[in-house]
């Protein structure tokens, strides 16, 4: 039994600990923790739960009733309004580090008057997941489909819903406490006390030829779907901060580009460091553009798509070359 003076202090110590925990919890909730973006199982494997509004670290993440990272939209575009659907993974999603208003899709809409830009995305999606999402949800009346492809997508296999609630970044329900989310999602993995689980879209894995074939077939299916619905496909290829020199990845990328050329598909490939010093850091990590990077993507796309609206049958790249017709 503790000595008498210590026993008298125990209630005060307990109250101080509880008060400190409450202050930490309220502070974390004020920063948006304890209210993560939620996911659900779907025909595409998994997708973001519709109708979510999250404020985290002074950034806003909003998904509408259609499961798009947009404000509310009508079923079809208004008269005289063009609509573009951008389909992608965590790069298009942007994450909670990029405010809704600063995603490349929102910035692109501001750069193209009379054009409504939709953002169909989820962290971790592979091209197969995206193909399945498109088949399930459709184009929402869009006249152009922009398919965002990153280097890792060339070999990423289908991501099934088994990662939901098993991966700390893909919860189906909010945690009881903000402290719980911060500990399980950030502190413990980074400290090495628990296994660090990466986003499946950026996790390093074996370069599986079968996965590469499935990814390429998904792109072809997306292309066929877009053409069948009167929406030409535009491929937005996003290089990582340091593009790989692995000959297998280079070969897969070259195959994609050659196929796009042969199929007369417009290819847009932003040059992140063309006018910016590397000190400006357009990436927040090895793969994901930050808000500056999203601005570069939006400006590059706007230039390419402005020409597209002027002449919808003239494919081109944004690196100075003109793609020949098929």
Lowest mean pLDDT among 12-21, 155-164, 283-292, 304-313: 304-313
**What pLDDT score does 60 carry?**
96
The mean per-residue pLDDT over the stretch 113-126 comes to 96
CATH assignment of the domain containing 127: 3.40.50.1110
Spatial contact of 185 and 110, defined as CB atoms under 8 Å apart: no
**Any domain includes 36:** no
Torsion on CA atoms 219, 154, 235, 284, rounded to nearest 10: 140
Query: Could you say which DSSP state residue 283 is in?
Result: B
Q: What is the DSSP letter of 162?
A: G
pLDDT for 207: 81
Residues in Cβ contact with 22 at an 8 Å cutoff, skipping those fewer than 6 apart: none
CB proximity list for 96: less than 8 A, separation 6 or greater: 32, 37, 54, 56, 57, 59, 61
- Higher-pLDDT residue of 315 and 135 is 135
Task: Reduce the DSSP state of residue 21 to 3 states and report it.
Answer: helix
| Local confidence band at 196 (pLDDT 50, 70, 90 cut-offs) | low
With a cut of 50, say whether residue 318 has pLDDT above it. Answer: no
75 domain-assigned: yes
Contacts of 152 (CB under 8 A, 6+ apart): 201, 202, 240, 287
Instruction: Give the contacts of 76 (CB within 8 A, at least 6 positions apart).
Output: 140, 141
Q: Is residue 171 part of a domain?
A: no
Select the more confidently predicted residue: 273 or 318. 273
Residue 26 lies in a domain: no
Tell me which residue of 18, 172, 141 sits closest to 74, measured CA to CA.
141
Q: Are 100 and 248 in contact (CB under 8 A)?
A: no
Alpha-carbon distance 274 to 126, whole Å?
A: 28
Answer yes or no: is 41 within a domain: no
8 Å CB contact between 137 and 48: no
pLDDT of residue 2: 59
Domain that holds residue 95: 69-163+200-310
Please tell me the predicted confidence (pLDDT) of residue 326.
28
Stated pTM of the model: 0.88
* Domain membership flag for residue 272: yes
Tell me the pLDDT tens digit for each residue of 40-89: 999 999 999 999 999 998 999 999 999 999 999 999 999 989 999 999 99
Higher pLDDT: 192 or 71? It is 71
Q: 141 vs 188, which has greater pLDDT?
A: 141
- DSSP strands (E only) in 91-217: 115-121, 144-150
Handedness of CA 154, 156, 157, 159 (dihedral sign): negative
Taking the C-alpha atoms of residue 117 and residue 159, their distance in angstroms, rounded to an integer, is: 26
221 located within any domain: yes
As for how many domains the chain has, the answer is 1
Q: How remote is the C-alpha of 125 from its chain's centroid?
A: 8
Q: Report yes or no on 193 lying in a domain.
A: no
* CA proximity to 37, closest of 112, 106, 113, 90: 90
Beta-sheet pairing, 45-48 with 39-42: antiparallel
Alpha-carbon distance 82 to 148, whole Å? 19
Query: Average pLDDT over the chain, rounded to whole?
Result: 88
């Amino acid at each position: 039994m503790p000595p008498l003076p210590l026993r008298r202090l125990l209630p005060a110590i307990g109250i101080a600990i509880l008060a400190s925990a409450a202050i930490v919890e309220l502070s974390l909730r004020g920063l948006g923790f304890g209210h993560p973006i939620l996911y659900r199982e779907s025909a595409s494997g998994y997708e973001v739960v519709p109708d979510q509004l999250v404020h985290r670290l002074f950034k806003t993440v909003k998904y509408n009733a259609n499961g798009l990272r947009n404000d509310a939209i009508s079923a079809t575009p208004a008269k005289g309004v063009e609509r573009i659907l951008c389909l992608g993974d965590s790069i298009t999603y942007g994450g909670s580090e990029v405010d809704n208003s600063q995603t490349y899709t929102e910035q692109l809409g501001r750069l193209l008057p009379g054009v409504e830009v939709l953002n169909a995305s989820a962290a971790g999606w592979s091209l197969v997941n995206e193909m399945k999402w498109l088949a399930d949800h459709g184009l929402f009346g869009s006249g152009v489909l922009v398919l965002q492809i990153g280097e890792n997508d060339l070999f990423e296999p289908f991501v099934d819903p088994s990662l939901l609630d098993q991966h700390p970044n893909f919860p189906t329900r909010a945690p009881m406490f903000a402290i719980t989310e911060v500990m399980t999602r950030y502190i413990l993995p980074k400290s090495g006390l628990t296994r660090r689980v990466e986003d499946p879209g950026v996790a390093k894995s074996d370069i599986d030829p079968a996965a590469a074939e499935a990814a390429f077939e998904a792109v072809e299916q997306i292309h066929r779907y877009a053409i069948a619905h009167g929406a030409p496909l535009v491929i937005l290829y996003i290089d990582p901060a340091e593009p790989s020199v692995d000959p297998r990845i280079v070969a897969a990328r070259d195959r994609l580009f050659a196929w796009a050329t042969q199929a007369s598909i417009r290819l847009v490939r932003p040059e992140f460091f063309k006018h910016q010093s590397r000190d400006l850091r357009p990436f927040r990590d090895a793969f994901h553009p930050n808000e500056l990077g999203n601005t570069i993507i939006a400006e590059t796309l706007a230039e390419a798509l402005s020409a597209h609206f002027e002449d919808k049958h003239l494919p081109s790249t944004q690196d100075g070359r003109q793609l020949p017709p098929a």
